[in-house]
Structure 1
């Protein structure tokens, strides 16, 4: 078994950075017991052994093939398939990567995080670890990492994803509006023809379930009272700049600007599936009575407040009613 040279003889984890860059072959120690490197860093088991590394996290297009002898040394490994492209989904893997590093440190193992060149994908993973472990902002963690390794430069897509990670409290919350909006954008990139969309993209139709509704607001068609979506499906957004955002439209007076949101932007619901497949934009109609509820556009639409939402599934507030479940009686009351 490799002798893990952790943060200290007692395997205590410290938050301070190495005072000087500690290079070991193709690897650089960027945090006590945490190394950053490229593909060459795992080419020879002797290099890992010399640094006391017994855990390797690979984020690359192909899983590394460790040379004979590495497995015999009880080497932990974790592989994340990812290309160094802005559209690559790295956000969904961050929690598992950070957890792997933490488990290795708890077992007194030094960890190597590497990709092909050691400047983008692996840098993004280590930045996420520093953000969560040392409670740093993205700018702080990335800046400190670049001070230690000046050539570190993740692509703009990973920067955006780490900022979303920060906005979620350095934890991937799949139920949050931030993650749902992110997932929708990724689906648009992955399925440009908008066919065979994954079922997990769609929120459950509220007419098919009753459990869990007592703590949420239910939205129904104002015309026929058909249940359409729950409050958990609403994707909140920061209010836009109001009239300033519509100057490009060169509207001729008289016209009315709305300073507040007149629509709900929601995640797609199961009843929308047949309407959305293979179509870039169109109307959203009530699946029961056919009343117009709003519209959708995979390329995005502008809210009445001025904020641009991409992709957009827009339901006009004046076409639906809010129905709140009373916790005691279990009945519904309309709120106006």
Structure 2
């Protein structure tokens, strides 16, 4: 258990209740596959996540920051804990430093590494924190960055979306510069459902009309239903896994 800021510690599961009480910890933020048993007199927030690049921490960063700030208010202390104390907990504390100290991802991560040399979050968490920085250290559900992040999570969940036959793919429309209000629609000739261009861009390589077979598999229909609930005219964003993001056109 290592102090990061006054009233903020980071560590692994080895820290027992005695160590927490000795450090004056009154709040525990845990991030692990399973929630730890409750500790008497200690407020707790659990984020269910494995130490895997695809685990979603981004969606929880604001609620974690609010929990830690409330715990530290008035001189209290909080511990951010995962199993080993080197990846998931480090990612949450790095995001907290970015948000509260107005630091970039690189600055916050360097500060953590200087305090805890064995800190090493996985590449997926690094990518998510860079997206968080791109949103101004706020989880903005109306942001193009966040919407396409969620779309990617849907495609990861439904593997059939990643394995459509090659004959349904066409030339990448992002190679042609489009204005923000000029949206290309792709239509399945069999089911006649329009696929907006920002969906096809998130679903690279892109889709084309198919004569011989239905384009919309069960998984793609789920994706489209999700997309149509959040659709709006926003800049098109390409989320290149683990390497930040860039804007098209």
TM-score by length of 1: 0.53
- 29, 36, 43: which one aligns with 2:10: 36
- 2:183 is aligned with 1:264: yes
- Alpha-carbon separation, structure 2, partners of 1:292 and 1:92: 26
The answer to whether 1:62 aligns with 2:34 is: yes
Asked if 1:135 is matched to 2:102, the reply is yes
Aligned mates of 1:56, 1:293 — CA distance in 2? 44
> What's the CA shift string for 1:101-126, capped at 9, x where partnerless?
01111243200001000000000000
Match of 1:192 among 159, 164, 169: 159
Provide closer, same or farther for how the CA distance between residues 286 and 63 of structure 1 changes in structure 2, counting only shifts above 3 A: same
Unaligned regions of 5+ residues in structure 1, if any? 1-26, 195-239, 243-257, 267-282, 303-310, 314-321, 323-336
Q: Which has the higher contact order (CA 8 A, sep 6+)?
A: 2
Measured at CA, do residues 188 and 133 of structure 1 come closer, stay the same or move farther in structure 2, by a change above 3 Å?
same
Equivalent residue number for residue 23 of structure 2? 51
Give, in whole Å, the separation in 2 of the partners of 1:292 and 1:119. 42
| Structure 1 pair 188–36 and aligned structure 2 pair: CA distance change class (3 A) | same
Whether the aligned pair in 1 keeps the contact of 2:184 and 2:196 (CA below 8 Å) is no
User: Which SS does the other structure have where 1:59 is aligned?
Assistant: strand
Cα distance in 1 for partners of 2:122, 2:191 equals 46
The alignment's C-alpha RMSD in Å is 3.3
Q: Structure 1 pair 289/80, CA: closer, same or farther in 2 (3 Å)? A: closer
- Match of 1:77, SS state, is strand
CA distance in 2, matches of 1:288, 1:75: 56
Q: Which runs of 5+ in 2 are unaligned?
A: 162-173, 207-219, 225-232, 234-249
Shift of 1:284: 2.4
CA–CA separation in structure 1 for the residues paired with 2:28 and 2:135: 27
Judging changes above 3 Å, is the alpha-carbon distance between structure 1 residues 175 and 298 closer, same or farther for their aligned structure 2 residues? closer
Q: Deviations over 1:68-117 (max 9, x none)?
A: xx41xx21111000000000111001011001001111243200001000
For 1:100, the equivalent position in structure 2 comes to 67
| 2:214 matched residue in structure 1 | none
CA gap of 1:33–1:190, structure 2 versus 1, over 3 A, is same
Higher normalized helix content (fraction of residues): 2
1:16-52 per-position Cα deviation (integer Å, ceiling 9, x unaligned): xxxxxxxxxxx100111100000111xx321111111
Query: Where does structure 1 differ by over 3 angstroms across 4 or more consecutive aligned residues?
Result: 262-266, 285-299
Which has the higher mean CA deviation after the structures are superposed, 100-109 or 136-145? 100-109
- Give, in whole Å, the separation in 2 of the partners of 1:119 and 1:135: 23
The 5 Å alignment of 1:126-275 reads: 126-194=93-161, 258=176, 260-261=177-178, 264=183
More strand by proportion, 1 or 2? 1
Q: Go from structure 1 to structure 2 and tell me whether the alpha carbon gap of 1:286 and 1:99 turns closer, same or farther (over 3 Å shift).
A: farther
Give the Cα–Cα distance (whole angstroms) in 2 for the partners of residues 286 and 132 of structure 1.
48
- Residues 179/150 of structure 1: CA separation in 2 closer, same or farther (3 Å cut): same
In the alignment, the residues of structure 2 paired with residue 152 and residue 165 of structure 1 have an alpha-carbon distance, to the nearest angstrom, of: 19
SS of alignment partner, residue 14 of structure 2? helix
Query: What corresponds to 1:248 in structure 2?
Result: none
> What do the CA deviations read for 1:222-261 (whole angstroms, capped 9, x no partner)?
xxxxxxxxxxxxxxxxxx8x6xxxxxxxxxxxxxxx4x22
